[in-house]
Amino acid sequence: MQLSVWTYEGPPHIGAMRIATAMRDVHYVLHAPQGDTYADLLFTMIERRDRRPPVTYTTFQARDLGGDTADLLQSAVRAAYDRFQPQAMLVGASCTAELIQDDPGGLAQALKLPIPVIPLELPAYQRKENWGASETFYRIVRALAASSANGSPRRPREAGARPVCNLLGPTALGFRHRDDLAEVTRQVVELGIEINVVAPWNATPADLARLPQADFNIVLYPEIAATAAQWLQRQFGQPSTRTIPIGVTATREFIAEVAALAGVDASPVLARSESRLPWYSRSVDSTYLTGKRVFIFGDATHAVAAARVATQELGFEVVGLGTYAREFAREIREAAAIYGVEPVITDDYLEVEARVSELRPELVLGTQMERHIAKRLGIPCAVISAPCHVQDFPARYSPQMGFEGANVLFDTWVHPLMMGLEEHLLGMFREDHEFADHAPSHLGAAPARPSEAVRSAEPAAVAVSSAALSWATDAERELTKIPFFVRGKARRNTERFARERNVNLITLETLYDAKAHFGR
């Protein structure tokens, strides 16, 4: 068992629902107990969809377990087919149904419906949401694309014909998938490339059958679409993109990569496309952002992209980088090596919390779950990745990708930080009754003070890490004069400095010696 205060991903059948809900004319029959229909709310409330997800649940109850749950499943499949008349059907089990082992896929196929019925094997006690989405997308692509082209190699494009691509990855309940898709589509169209199929977003099974007709694939979210894209490459020789266009530099590289795959000239597009981020970031108002210590956590794609933007485009210092997606641990390890930090690869919220607490960053870029951590520790925070809640499915255009995405990133990440003038004044005058050091005034009601529990836990934590260390009263008092957002780091550095020199009592002198030693 694993103690999970918050979970970064849902179970794998939620991933399958994200594929089914993103598509049209697909229906998903899910063998699941009463209550698992809560998942509909993810789509109708969090994403605010105006239709019910195309999912029929068997919703068995305790009294059904004594009877024939297999029959229940078959009648649900038949009723769903009769009512919704989909072009293809997905059939699978949720975690509880997995325990009763009815073999939903086999039972559904035995009904011999006149449409493709795709069984899903999603091990709910081993795998999670993104894996479920990826596996479902792969299975559905495989089932529908293979039959149409019979595995024959793709015909080379005729001279003069426009290059054609597929856009793979955007799903229902994806973090900013809607607007990323619009942004990337605009970019691709500007390059003079035709889009064959976008999937799974709004695609029908018939659309998936046309996937082999493209020259190459653009993979927006590897967590969802890499497996399917690899299969398409093996089967039809379609190469796919690797660059994720988040941030200005990555977007430029992405455009170059797409252009190369399509055999077109990227330079006109690169010449006219610009983001406001570079100038905003170079303007003197942003100077104080230099070296801000940032902790980054999320799915690997967004975390790696964010680390690059943070360091190269905003001038932050990455002090921690991690992901909850073990499938993408390698990508995070490689990136962490670039920034010289220890990668955090865990789906344990408490472990992430412990790491943030230890590193004391000035900004956390994470998921909805890191907002809980940041509130507890009183650190500014912005969301860069799923899991996210209703406020991260905004009405306004807010991509993460492309040049407009970079504009959004600049605003979003800088917003929770205390603004420059206030930060300076707080560093100078510490007894103001209105402006407190933990509460940026431009946020109105600002991040809460670290809770009582944390404050009382803090000295204990210090005592554990530094058994023989103590602080002289005047040094402790001096520490409170250091601005709030760097105080944790100053405390850590001073204690490290003292330990390395076998100093047991930290005095004013030790504090300033350590400051001279480490810099800010």
Partner 1 sequence: MTIHAQACAVPSTSSPDGVLRQRGQREVFCGLTGIVWLHRKIQDAFFLVVGSRTCAHLIQSAAGVMIFAEPRFATAIMEERDLAGLVDANDELDRIVAQLLARRPDIKLLFLVGSCPSEVIKLDLSRAALRLSQRFAPGVRVLNYSGSGIETTFTQGEDACLASLVPVLPVADRASGPSLLVVGALADVVEDQFRRIFVSLGIDQVAFLPPRRSSELPAIGLETRVLLAQPFLGDTARALEERGCRRIAAPFPLGGEGTALWLAAAADAFGVSRAHVDRTLAPLQARAERALARYRAQLAGRRVFLFPDSQIEIPLARFLAREIGMELVEVGTPYLHREHLASELKLLPQGVLLSEGQDVERQLDRCRAARPDLVVCGLGLANPLEAEGLTTKWSIELIFTPIQGFEQAGDLAELFARPLLRQTRLAV
Q: Map the footprint of partner 1 across residues 35-64, applying CB under 8 A.
A: 35-38, 40-42, 44-46, 48-52, 54, 56-62, 64
Q: Determine the interface stretch with partner 1 among 9-17, 194-202, 357-365, 395-403 (rule: CB under 8 A).
A: 9-17
The answer to whether 426 and 418 have CB atoms below 8 angstroms apart is yes
Residues 436-495 that bind partner 1 (CB under 8 A): 448, 451, 453-454
Catalytic residue among 285, 411, 432, 474: 285
Q: How far is CA 114 from CA 30, 104, 206, 209, 312, in A?
A: 19, 17, 15, 17, 55
Q: Quick one: 13 or 492, whose CB is closer to partner 1?
A: 13
Spatial contact of 129 and 9, defined as CB atoms under 8 Å apart: yes
Which of 121, 46, 127 minimizes the C-alpha distance to 327?
A: 127
* Partners of 295 in beta bridges: 320, 364
Closer residue to partner 1, CB minimum distance, 219 or 377: 377
Cβ-based nearer residue to partner 1, 63 or 272: 63
Residue 341, Ramachandran bin (φ over 0: left; ψ between -120 and 50: alpha; else beta): beta
CA distance 458 to 360: 12
- 3-state secondary structure (DSSP) of residue 219: strand
> What is the footprint of partner 1 within residues 383-442 (CB under 8 A)?
387, 389-391
User: Least distance to partner 1 from the beta carbon of 123, Å?
Assistant: 8
Q: Which of residues 107-136 bind partner 1 (CB under 8 A)?
A: 123-126, 128
Site for partner 1 in 82-111 (CB under 8 A): 82-86, 94-96, 99-100
Q: Is 237 annotated as a binding residue?
A: no
Nearer to partner 1, 56 or 227 (CB): 56
Beta carbon of residue 39, minimum distance to partner 1 (angstroms, whole number):
8
Which of 178-204 are b and which e, b meaning 16 or more Cβ less than 10 Å from the residue's Cβ? bbbbbbbeebbeebebeebbbbbbebb
For partner 1, the binding residues in 137-156 under the rule CB under 8 A are none
Site size for partner 1, by CB under 8 A?
A: 72
Q: What is the 3-state secondary structure (H, E, C) of 40-69?
A: HHHHHHHCCCCCCCCEEECCECHHHHCCCH
Would you say 10 or 488 has its CB closer to partner 1?
A: 10
> Which residue lies nearer to partner 1 by CB, 99 or 161?
99
> Is position 180 annotated as part of the catalytic site?
no
In what order do the strands lie in the sheet containing 55-57?
A: 55-57, 26-31, 88-93, 117-119
| Closest distance to partner 1 from the beta carbon of 100 (Å) | 7
**Residue 252, phi then psi, degrees to nearest 5:** -65, -40
83 with 77: CB under 8 angstroms?
A: no
Which is closer to partner 1, CB of 50 or CB of 158?
Answer: 50
Q: Report in angstroms how near the CB of residue 96 gets to partner 1 at its nearest.
A: 4
* 171-230 positions binding partner 1, by CB under 8 A: none
| Alpha helix segments (H runs only) across 348-401 | 349-359, 368-377
Yes or no: say if 243 and 237 are a contact pair by the CB < 8 Å rule.
no
SS3 518: helix
SS3 labels along 343-362: EEECCCHHHHHHHHHHHCCC
Q: Mapped to the 3 state alphabet, what secondary structure does 452-505 carry?
A: HHHHHHHHHHHHHHCCCCEECHHHHHHHCCCCHHHHHHHHHHHHHHHHHCCCCE
4 binds partner 1 (CB under 8 A): yes
Question: Minimum Å distance from CB 358 to partner 1?
Answer: 16
Beta bridge partners of 30: 57, 92
Contact window for partner 1 (CB under 8 A) among 75-83, 136-144, 250-258, 415-423: 75-83
Residue 421 among known ligand-binding residues: yes
Q: Are 403 and 313 in contact (CB under 8 A)?
A: no
Q: How far is the CB of 184 from partner 1 (least distance, A)?
A: 27
Q: Is 377 annotated as a binding residue?
A: no
Closest distance to partner 1 from the beta carbon of 44 (Å): 5
Q: Contacts with partner 1 in 350-379 (CB under 8 A)?
A: 350, 368, 371-372, 375-376
Scan residues 320-339 and list those touching partner 1 (CB under 8 A): none
Q: Which of 17, 22, 70, 76 touches partner 1 by CB under 8 A?
A: 76
Q: How far is the CB of 176 from partner 1 (least distance, A)?
A: 18
Query: Tokens 């455009």, residue?
Result: 255
- Give whole-number Cα distances, 512 to 287, 425, 479, in Å: 25, 21, 10
Q: Which is nearer to partner 1, 170 or 205 (CB)?
A: 205
In terms of CB distance, is 431 or 452 closer to partner 1? Answer: 452
3-state secondary structure of 31: strand
CB of 66 to partner 1, least distance (A): 11
- Locate 127 and state its tokens: 């795998």
The CA-to-CA distance between both ends of the chain, in Å, stands at 43
The residues assigned a catalytic role are 285
Per the annotation, where are the binding residues?
A: 36, 420-421
Known binding site for [4Fe-4S] cluster: residues?
Answer: 36
Binding residues for substrate: 420-421
